[in-house]
Amino acid sequence: MTTVSGRRVRVKIEIEADLLEEITAAEIKRMLASLQQDHKLRKSGKWMAIFDTDKAKDLAELKRHIEAFKLVGRYYGVKI
């Protein structure tokens, strides 16, 4: 639900399953690339903490998230 000019508006969008899968796959790829870039920059010391201020813990958590996105990507048939 959203608000337009102070009024609540409900919009329903129907998306075919194949398009929804394409959108999901694209978002998985985008987030995976972002997490990989965050990991690279954090490891080099050029980036701030994402999950933990302890660098080793932060890198480990980033790696866990990267692996999780890869797993979900494989489920959706995303070429990684």
String of b and e for 43-65 (b: at least 16 CB within 10 Å)? eeeeeeebeeeeeeebbebbeeb
What residues form DSSP beta bridges with 7?
4
Domain spans of the chain, in order of start: 15-75
- Specify the pLDDT at position 1: 67
Q: What is the pLDDT along the chain (80 residues), one digit of tens a residue?
A: 677 788 888 889 999 999 999 999 999 999 999 999 999 999 999 989 999 999 999 999 999 999 999 999 999 888 87
Quote the pLDDT of residue 41: 96
Report pLDDT for 78.
Answer: 86
